Structure formats: structure tokens, C-alpha cells
Amino acid sequence: MFQPILRRKQVEAYLGISRSSIYAMVLEGSFPKPLKIGRRSVGWRPEDIESWLLQKQETAEGKRA
């Protein structure tokens, strides 16, 4: 099933993090790279964001145990 691409502002609002934080994490390799969807626009697949969130949750749970 097709899912729409999440634009940067949607990702910011969904995760509660800033544009600079997103791109800093992309550069360090700890956040999914965006897809180029136009000459000057990027977006993320929802499943990439969900996988990233699950990974963060598992890491946090592992530190608590």
C-alpha cells in the first residue's frame, strides 16, 4: 500500500525536534536520510521514521534494564 511522503515540517511536528537537529542526526548517520522528491524538496518515508522511533525506544529500554 502506498503511503505519502512526510515533508520536513511534518517530521518536525511529529517528532518534536528541530530542522537543525534532524539534519545533524542525518549527517552523523543516526537518522534516516531524506528522499529527494523535487529540485528543492525532500521527504521521508513514514516506515523509515517509525523504524527509527522503534530503534530509539529499544535502545532506551535496554539502558533501563
In angstroms, the CA 16 to CA 48 distance is: 16
Rounded to a whole number of angstroms, the distance between the first and last alpha carbons of the chain is 37
Domain range for 24 is 6-64
The pLDDT of residue 64 is above 90? no
If one counts the domains in the chain, the total is 1
In a domain, 44, yes or no: yes
In angstroms, the CA 55 to CA 3 distance is: 21
> Can you tell me the mean pLDDT for 2-11?
92
Q: For residue 62, what pLDDT is reported? A: 82
In a domain, 43, yes or no: yes
Confidence of residue 45 (pLDDT cuts 50, 70, 90): very high
Q: What global pTM score does this model have?
A: 0.84
In a domain, 1, yes or no: no
The pLDDT of residue 65 is above 80? no
Residue 4: which of 55, 47, 39, 50 has the closest Cα? 47
